[in-house]
Amino acid sequence: MIANDIYHQLTQEGFKVFYAAITLEGKLGSAYEPIIFDALNSAKVMLAVGTKPEYFQAVWVKNEWSRFLKINKDNRNKMLIPCYKGMDPYDLPDEFAHLQAQDMGKIGFITDLIRGVKKVLEKSEEKPTTVVVNASVNPQIENLIKRARLAVEDGEFNKARNFVEQALNIDVEYAEAYMVDLFCDFNAKNLQELGDKCTLTKLEENVNYKKALRFADGDLKTELENISKYLRLKQIKTLPFMEQHDYERVKRQLEDLSGFKPAEEYFANLDKVRNQQLAQKVRSFIKRGAYAIDYYLQRITDEELKLELVNFKNQIIYNKAKECKAKKEYATAKASFSMIKGYKDAESQAAECDRLEKQRKQEEQRQQQMALWREQKLCQHCGGNFKGLFKKVCTCCGTQKDY
């Protein structure tokens, strides 16, 4: 919240600061008035902070700045400084017409503000209380929403909804209440859980999200928009982009999320992610025995990854070739070893498989010839004729008939 930032900046400067959302935290509602009364009377400076005209006119806000202005009539040493953002200064309350307002959207605003506060207080020996009025927050609502947020973190969603309902009974346009309700709608304790349980479409259709976005401003509006960006990024991360046209489409979608840090980090690593997607595809092909991977390899920009994938492919082919060799499938083994010449001893393995295959073929041919000679009642070793009545011996090689 803007007022929180102002509070902490002034506190760091050494000023004693009253800010209802922090100063009154943990105190009973009945104890608010004496503390506020004391702050209004002791303060030299009040900052009325708001981002919409109606925030300055809220009952509890107007009550405080109007009382301060009334006190100021009797004490000219006091000053009220209206601080606005995202609105026309002419829409500030008429009572502020004679005051020098500060635009919180201007660069260097906080520096100018601190300088102005110091100027008012420079004559004081001690730095008195500076009252910061957050025109969009009622302390009671703030405490209810804090309790609702804590309940959400603990997973007590019904309890959180009860606190939200109480807050909305006080201010039906309190955006943060609808945001807490949004987390309750999806039983999400944090943004990551919301991202896991909600889709972009469901978010944009959610009634509480629409209302929160409608009434939010400043940091809260940014936080709500970031929820949408988070889910959009999650959606983008599921998209394949190995092909160039898909890659360009993803880049365009990420450019639309410019300014969102997680998207910018993903964009910065896009080439690396793409390389990993391509590598996963290549490994899948290789494992299935598809080795024509040049189409994908040439799209990988990481040379080390390319080399790793080539070695992975070569190792798979080498292992399968060894298996074929062990099974005496020498022709297949030779073909596989020949695909990866230069890898380990693949070349010598291919040569050995070639020799073994030739031996296998020769043996096969010899066995076929022996079978033919047996059919012809000849010597199965040389094809010669047999002689002898009781003991038949080959007339060519002298081998006794053995079949």
Q: Does 124 share its domain with 198? A: no
Cβ neighbourhood burial of 46 (10 Å; 0-12, 13-18, 19+)? buried
Domain boundary among 86, 112, 137: 137
Own/partner long-range contacts of 239-248 (Cβ < 8 Å, ≥24 apart): 240/277, 241/274, 241/277, 242/274, 242/277, 242/278, 242/281, 242/296, 242/299, 244/299, 247/274
Q: pLDDT value at position 327?
A: 93
Which residue is it, tokens 């992975």?
A: 312
Residue-range definition of the domain harbouring residue 85: 2-137
Q: Does 106 share its domain with 211? A: no
What residue type is assigned to position 35 of the chain? I
pLDDT under 70: residue ranges of the chain: 1, 26-31, 123-139, 290-291
Q: Does 119 share its domain with 22? A: yes
Q: pLDDT value at position 134?
A: 56
Q: Does 186 share its domain with 231? A: yes
Q: Look at the pTM and tell me if it is higher than 0.85.
A: no
**Joined tokens for residue 147:** 């309790």
Report if residue 10 sits inside a domain: yes
Q: pLDDT value at position 32?
A: 72
**Domains identified in the chain, total number:** 2
Question: Under a CB-based contact definition with an 8 Å cutoff, are residues 337 and 346 in contact?
Answer: yes
**Joined tokens for residue 227:** 């929820």
Domain boundary among 186, 215, 237: 237
Q: pLDDT value at position 135?
A: 58
Domain boundary among 198, 221, 237: 237
